Structure 1
Amino acid sequence: MSRTAPDSRTATMTRKTAETEITVRLALDSSVYDAPHTGHGFFDHMLDALARHSRLSLSVTATGDLHIEPHHLIEDTGITLGQALSQALGDRKGIERYGSAFVPMDETLAHAVVDLSGRAHLAFEPEALDVWGDAGGMTHYHLREFLRGFCNHGGVTLHVRLLAGREAHHVIEAVIKAVARALRDAVAVTSAEMPSTKGSL
């Protein structure tokens, strides 16, 4: 793993293992979109949705052992994205910290609540529900691993609820968009203060 120092809330992170090689570039105060390239069409679509709905500048270039299945690629991208977010946030001073969003997609309704607390936790309600099928080989379990990696390495507390919906494509997409819109609010700089009674995050 390599990293660059944050500059105006930006970060570039690279993760290389025997299974994957991933580079994530992230800028929190820009919304210049760069089409992701992971070799997995639906996952690229979700990363594009994440960038557009969070209004963050996100570039993801990745290769992985897709001949086995997409698990490693999706999980490791979440890990690398979390590392990039943590690096770009720096000491997190002045950020709004919290964000919440409901997103409907036809019959599906997802709710995401994020806290950029520096503490990692994922509560993922769709895991306990009967979600049907997959989307291009990506299931809601792959989504869980993406978000788990993101939370664990980004210092993010995230609660995801599925209020309606069972079809995998709509569930995954609504969740990603809800997370993105919650994240957009949470990373915003809204004061000069540390958003914690402890004085640090």
Structure 2
Amino acid sequence: MRRASISRQTAETEISVDINLDGTGAYDNQTGVGFFDHMLDQLARHSLIDMTISAKGDYHIDDHHTVEDTGIALGQALSAALGDKRGIRRYGECHLPMDDAQVRCALDLSGRPFLVWNVDLPTAKIGTFDTELVREFFQAFSTHGGITLHVDQLHGLNSHHIAEAAFKAVARALRQAVESDPRKGDAIPSTKGTL
């Protein structure tokens, strides 16, 4: 099975991530940041990637390091679990509505990290969560996961709905991209022969 475990410890955070790409979307995410845990739960459930994340951070400063370092560790785990990417579909996309919000995601597990982020969260906070951290998470995740990731908000008024639609759209696109393609067998999905 395609699994990976990553531990990351710095002076600011302690993060552990366990994932199974061939899971059912089971999750146990405990970062100490409530809204972020809710978003990680959505990422697991809608990607069908089993995900267990434990994090401790310097919350007395803010949640930035915890969220960013979780993105780093999760990206590293994804990359490790994919290995040489033989037989995967590689690409994924999703248009996802959530009430007033609609977010489009297109991604490529290319090994060439790049984030295009056209999302405008209209409030600075969702509860106590800084909304700018949504982008910070996806920047870290795409960079360390080797993902070309495009996320575009098409509609939306409510910050919670927009953020959740973004996480779910990425999850659904990721689900497609990591799936094994029975027509490819164990071929690497690139004319270069490597990703």
TM-score, normalisation: structure 1? 0.92
Partner of 2:27: 34
User: What is the alpha-carbon distance in structure 2 between the residues aligned to residue 57 and residue 170 of structure 1?
Assistant: 23
1:171 aligned to which of 148, 162, 169: 162
Deviation at 1:141, TM superposition (A): 1.6
User: What is the alpha-carbon distance in structure 2 between the residues aligned to residue 29 and residue 75 of structure 1?
Assistant: 25
- C-alpha offsets along residues 123-163 of structure 1, whole Å, 9 cap, x if unaligned? 0001xx36223213324320111001111111100000000
- Residues 1:125 and 2:118 aligned together: yes
Counterpart amino acid of residue 194 in structure 2: S
Partner of 2:134: 143
User: What is the alpha-carbon distance in structure 1 between the residues aligned to residue 193 and residue 121 of structure 2?
Assistant: 42
Partner of 1:3: none
Partner of 2:67: 74
User: What is the alpha-carbon distance in structure 1 between the residues aligned to residue 188 and residue 129 of structure 2?
Assistant: 38
8 Å Cα contact 1:133-1:167 kept in structure 2: no
Partner of 1:49: 42
- C-alpha offsets along residues 5-61 of structure 1, whole Å, 9 cap, x if unaligned? xxx210000000111100000110112513211111111111111100001111000
Deviation at 1:66, TM superposition (A): 1.5
CA-based RMSD? 1.2
Listed as ranges, the gaps of 5+ residues in structure 1 are: 1-7
Give the total of aligned pairs. Answer: 192
Listed as ranges, the gaps of 5+ residues in structure 2 are: none
Percent of pairs with identical residues: 51
Alignment of 1:6-25 (within 5 A): 8-25=1-18
User: What is the alpha-carbon distance in structure 2 between the residues aligned to residue 72 and residue 135 of structure 1?
Assistant: 18
User: What is the alpha-carbon distance in structure 2 between the residues aligned to residue 62 and residue 130 of structure 1?
Assistant: 25
Partner of 1:97: 90
Partner of 2:189: 195
Partner of 1:5: none
Partner of 1:4: none
Counterpart amino acid of residue 123 in structure 1: V
User: What is the alpha-carbon distance in structure 2 between the residues aligned to residue 41 and residue 47 of structure 1?
Assistant: 10
TM-score, normalisation: structure 2? 0.95
